[in-house]
């Protein structure tokens, strides 16, 4: 048996258009929907995704889009939310009271909020990994 090691899909984004075309042909034939194509905007969404599920995740996204498509063009609307939207990390904000605050209190409060925000993003990533972004 020969083992071939491939880098993850996120490290070879140039493969995405070819894989998309292959899966469009494959699932187009299976579903009697030949001649399907991805719009440039939909392809951009796929190119921006990190694909933690690698090629299998991409294949599932294309298969779903083919099944749901009603015409020859597959647009952004058929790209699932977990691929098209990412969890965005937001820097915590704090207000400085008029009477002032000590530097130690400011840094402790900022660190606490930063840790809380990081934990929220980590929890979202555990429940829906493709939505992660740091």
97-118 burial: b if 16+ Cβ within 10 Å, else e: eeeeeeeeeeeeeeeeeeeeee
Report how far apart the first and last C-alpha atoms of the chain are (Å, whole number).
39
Q: Where are the domains of the chain?
A: 9-83, 86-134
Mean pLDDT for 48-72 is 93
pTM value is: 0.63
Mean pLDDT for 85-110 is 71
- The per-residue pLDDT for 134 is 45
Phi, psi of 37 (to 5 degrees): -145, 155
**What percent of the chain lies above the pLDDT cut of 70?**
84
Cβ atoms 57, 93 nearer than 8 A: no
Mean pLDDT for 123-129 is 66
Does the pLDDT at position 11 exceed 60?
A: yes
For domain 9-83, give its CATH number from 3.40.50.1820, 1.10.8.60, 1.10.3470.10, 3.40.50.620: 1.10.8.60
> Across the chain, what does the average pLDDT equal?
85
What does the DSSP assignment read for 83-96?
HH--PPP-------
Assigned token pair, 18? 């070819």
**pLDDT tens digits along 12-40:** 999 999 999 999 999 999 999 989 999 99
**pLDDT tens digits along 64-93:** 999 999 999 999 999 998 887 755 556 666
- The per-residue pLDDT for 90 is 61
């Amino acid at each position: 048996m020969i083992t071939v090691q491939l880098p993850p899909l996120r490290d070879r984004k140039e493969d995405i258009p070819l894989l998309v075309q292959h899966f469009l042909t494959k699932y187009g034939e299976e579903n009697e929907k030949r001649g399907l194509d991805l719009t440039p905007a939909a392809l951009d969404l796929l190119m921006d995704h990190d694909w933690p599920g690698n090629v299998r995740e991409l294949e599932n996204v294309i298969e779903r889009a083919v099944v749901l498509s009603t015409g020859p063009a597959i647009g952004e609307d058929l790209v699932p939310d977990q691929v098209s939207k990412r969890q965005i990390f937001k820097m915590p904000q704090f207000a400085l009271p008029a009477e002032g605050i000590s530097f130690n209190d400011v840094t402790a409060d900022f660190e606490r909020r930063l840790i809380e925000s990081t934990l929220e993003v980590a929890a979202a990533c555990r429940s829906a990994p493709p939505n992660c972004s740091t």
